[in-house]
Amino acid sequence: MIRSEILATGMHVPANLVKNDDLSSMMDTSDEWIRQRTGIEQRYWADATTSTSDLAVEACKKALSNAKVDKSEIDMIIAATLTPDHEFPGLACFVQKKLGIPGVPALDIRQQCTGFIYSMSIADQFIRSGTYKKILIVGAEIHSKGLDKTTVGRDVTVLFGDGAGAVVLAAKDVADPKKDSHILSTHIHADGTFAEELWVEGPGSGVGADRVDFEKLKEGYHYPKMNGKAVFVHAVKRMPEVLQEALTANNLKPEDIDLFVFHQANLRINDMVAKQFNIPEEKVFNTIQKYANTTAATIPIGLDEAVRSGKLKKGMLVASAAFGSGFTWASAIYRY
């Protein structure tokens, strides 16, 4: 049977390291305050000349190199982001231009923190159907250019970092599902009832007669706003639900999984999910301490870090789950 295999991973972050103490010069916060509430110790922020597609392209190049796949073999590009270079065209088109892969379809996924798993799910369907054989997926974000770096925006600003992670997905004739590398299943959900609990109000077509309301701009409507309590409550409910959905669909138990690579929004959320399933600490691979929340990039960055550190090896069974703005939530189980 034809299934999708992750051939290799790649990641890239900007050079500018921003530690928690660095933020205390911008706003009323401290290293202790951030660590206790989020687990974050540092993050990377891009400079003025770097765009999201720049980070994405570097991650893609590394993934292609690690997969030993020439760019000419790629049949499709899928880019997940909430911070594209421009309002339109989509990020994937700019990534395509900079990589030099004209002609193949280029698709943007705007599902925020679940963007990478949504992208995997879409790519997996194209490959299972026989439409494409090799798909390049990248999650990339530059949050730092859109954050309120004052005490007013502190609760959101301390959470986010910039970065990109990519994978090369390829068709594989799976003879032994218990040994061969492939995506077993993906599970995606959303509930727009809570869309305004974590969002950016504008600019946009929903703000009035013009896309840009300059009075609201002065009030900071272009900065992200979050109902932190609502997000936390729903995350610790939906992530275990969707993880269990994936386990049940594949007749698996938590102990059958070799490594858990969750979305990195808050270390407390991941710890609570792990506790609900009695997952030992050594089986959960977290990167939020180093990179903060890079939204669509957290899971592919985690996969690449796990590979390079020796924690993830070919043949291991991996489970991922994510929750984010929308609200959206998703999971995937795959043999790396």
Does the annotation mark 263 as catalytic?
Answer: yes
Which residues touch 188 (CB under 8 Å, ≥6 apart)? Answer: 114, 117, 118, 121, 328, 329, 330
Q: From the CB of residue 8, how many other CB atoms can be counted at a distance below 10 Å?
A: 22
Cis peptide upstream of residue 89 (ω within 30 degrees of 0) = yes
CB atoms within 10 A of CB 36: 10
Q: Is 222 a catalytic residue?
A: no
- Which helix (H) or strand (E) element contains residue 305? helix 298-309
Cβ-count burial of 275 within 10 angstroms (0-12 exposed, 13-18 middle, 19+ buried)?
Answer: exposed
DSSP β-ladder status, 163-173 and 2-12: antiparallel
Question: Which structure tokens are listed for 281?
Answer: 């600490």
Which one of the listed residues 143, 182, 234, 263 is annotated catalytic? Answer: 263
Q: Single out the catalytic residue among 60, 113, 234, 266.
A: 113
SS3 19: strand
Start-to-end CA distance of the chain, whole Å, equals 17
Identify whether 293 is a catalytic site residue.
yes
Give catalytic residue positions: 113, 263, 293
